[in-house]
Structure 1
Amino acid sequence: MSKKIISLTEEIAQPIVEDMNLELVDVEFVKEGKNHFLRVYVDKEGGVDIEDCERVSEKLSEELDHRDPIEQAYFLEVSSPGVERKLKKREDFERFEGSYIYVKTYEPIDGDKEFFGDLKEFVNDQLTLEIKVKTQTKQVTIPYEKVANAHLAVQF
């Protein structure tokens, strides 16, 4: 049910977001305690502000109310993806080449499933990360289809 709601929300939100020259980054439908939350993350070059989120929320809320695709009561939240923005699409990896990221894989690569490093390139559906192991720097190549999840990371 959750996947169907997410897919339908993406379908409804995409044209709304594009008309506002924004990017639809992600959609989540989660239950927290007794409440359900429909979270829509949008972005643009230079970042979104509260007015961008407000405009998307108003238009999306109208369209969701009109179509009424979600049976249970829920809270709609529209926001920025934040500093640890998820990387889901191929275009995300291309756009954020040179950035410090976190990647978790479905299966081990070189004995590990979690990596923090600089995204050196994304070519032919392969991520090349430069990671530090103690005092050494090495490169790891990760096939896109083996990425379970990834996001920008804050380096301390």
Structure 2
Amino acid sequence: MSKVTEVVENLAVPILNELGLELVDIEYVKEGRDWFLRLFIDKENGVDIEECGIVSERVSEKLDELDPIPHNYFLEVSSPGAERPLKKEKDFTASIGKNVFVKTYEPIENEKTFEGILLEFDGESVKLEIKVKTRKKIVEIPFDKVASARLAVTFG
């Protein structure tokens, strides 16, 4: 985590807690010539545009006070969307029974990407039920081998 995202997380989390919201992720990225600071927030039944606006205002005020970013940037506050990233252990626990997409740092059973139903998460490994053609198969992925994970929307 970069210094900027760490500082922003420390100032945003108390604001979000007060509003009953959760910080899902923070991005601080350069796109073209512009810098973007993106906060992804959520709560159990999702967030609306009004809540994003309130958070944006309050976080912006704190950022103006502390001034941790030396150059111009755009602050964006939004929902993580339907394909919410799974970053923390509690994200995995809350997603048991849901369809997820997982990428690994190294191959597991000759594969580095998996999509299926998250069956179990015990802090040590992620257990998925995946489809291989017409068969269902259980894959166990060590948690420390997970490079990224997110909810996966299924159609049909």
TM-score normalised by L of structure 2: 0.97
Which AA in structure 2 matches 1:30?
V
Structure 1 distance, partners of 2:78, 2:143, is: 27
Structure 2 distance, partners of 1:75, 1:65, is: 13
Equivalent pairs counted in the alignment come to: 155
Is 1:103 the counterpart of 2:131? The answer is: no
Which AA in structure 1 matches 2:144?
E
Is 1:53 the counterpart of 2:52? The answer is: yes
Cα shift at 1:124: 3.8
Structure 1 distance, partners of 2:26, 2:5, is: 6
Structure 2 distance, partners of 1:80, 1:46, is: 11
Structure 2: give runs of 5+ residues left out of the alignment: none
TM-score normalised by L of structure 1: 0.97
- 2:33 is matched with 34
Cα shift at 1:125: 2.1
Query: Residues 128 and 139 of structure 2 are in contact (CA less than 8 Å); yes or no, is this contact kept in structure 1?
Result: yes
Query: Residues 89 and 123 of structure 2 are in contact (CA less than 8 Å); yes or no, is this contact kept in structure 1?
Result: no
Alignment of 1:1-156 (within 5 A): 3-156=2-155
Cα shift at 1:144: 1.2
The DSSP-based 3-state class of the residue aligned with 1:70 is coil
Identity of aligned residues (%): 55
Which AA in structure 2 matches 1:38?
L
Structure 1 distance, partners of 2:124, 2:57, is: 37
Cα shift at 1:41: 0.4
Q: What is the RMSD computed on CA atoms of the aligned residues? A: 0.9
Cα shift at 1:72: 1.4
Cα shift at 1:121: 1.1
Structure 2 distance, partners of 1:11, 1:80, is: 19
The DSSP-based 3-state class of the residue aligned with 1:116 is strand
